[in-house]
Amino acid sequence: MAKYLTLERLGQSAIITINNPPANLWNPDSLRELAVIVRGLHDDATVRSVVITGAGEAFFSAGADLKLFTTGDRETAAAFLDAFHDAFAAIRAYPGVTVAAINGYALGGGLECALMCDYMVAERGARLGLPEGKVGLIPSAGGTKTLADKVGRAWAKRIVLGGEIVTAEKAFEIGLVEEIVDSGFAKIVAVSLANKVSAQGPEAVSAAHALIDGSAERTLEAHLQLEREAALALIGGDEQKEGVAAFLGKRAPKWADED
């Protein structure tokens, strides 16, 4: 039984809610819970997408519980960072779609968690930032890369080096979030977006997901070769044949995970 997270199902989406009031802070135990839950969904054929949100209206997550850093003990800090890395690796490795539904503040490790998702929906009034520098720390759960990859180095430097907290509107303007919704609707819209993946072939989604995630590290020529190999691997499979037959028959496909 999870203590800091809740899991619910809606259609073919799983909704993970960070529930550690008042600010939904991360600690090693909550991160271990996240890793276990997400990895448990990897092999669940009834789930095609995952939505992560925060309990309440004020916080998605305000990040790490800084009380764990008061002693300055590096072993404790290292264990905490390992828990962050393991949990967020589970999100990155999820073969379906992951969506962050940001309600309220997403700061530090909270924003880093959202950045691990495929896309983000933010409510009006949300605030996003990586303010670790204000306490003599740096983002260390991937934020210096995932933020720069998403918004470019200049805005990443404003947010990290300057400690700038951006509004949902500014986050949308710079490409940090993909959609802004009214207060109270982030989870609903995120689930709606996430559930769209159920119309796509599971194997095709997994293959395309991996190709997109690795595309920045490859030349076009190298990527084209991997894309060709992945496409040919799908040809002749049950999923590909069902997809084409359904299209030509003007019906909805019936994927294997729906049996």
Predicted local distance difference test score (pLDDT) of residue 68: 83
Structure tokens at 213: 């995630």
Q: Return the pLDDT at 259.
A: 52
CB 133 within 8 Å of CB 126? no
Contact 109, 142 (CB under 8 A): no
- pLDDT in the model for residue 258: 63
What pLDDT shows up at residue 45?
86
Structure tokens at 24: 């939904």
Question: Using CA of residue 39, residue 41, residue 44, residue 45, what is the dihedral sign?
Answer: negative
- The span from the CA of 12 to the CA of 162, in Å, is 40
Tell me the pLDDT tens digit for each residue of 97-129. 999 999 999 999 999 999 999 999 999 999 999
Per residue in 134-165, pLDDT (tens digit) is 999 999 999 999 999 999 999 999 999 999 99
- DSSP assignment of 158-206 equals HHHTS-PPEEHHHHHHTTS-SEEE-TT-HHHHHHHHHHGGGGS-HHHHH
Query: pLDDT value at position 256?
Result: 80
Residues of the chain with pLDDT under 50: none
Burial (CB count within 10 angstroms: exposed 0-12, middle 13-18, buried 19+), residue 168: buried
- Residue 210 phi/psi, 5-degree rounding, is -65, -40
Ordered domains of the chain (ranges, CATH): 5-198 (3.90.226.10), 200-258 (1.10.12.10)
**What local confidence, expressed as pLDDT, does residue 153 receive?**
96
pLDDT of res. 66: 87
pLDDT value for 237: 93
Position 257 scores a pLDDT of 66
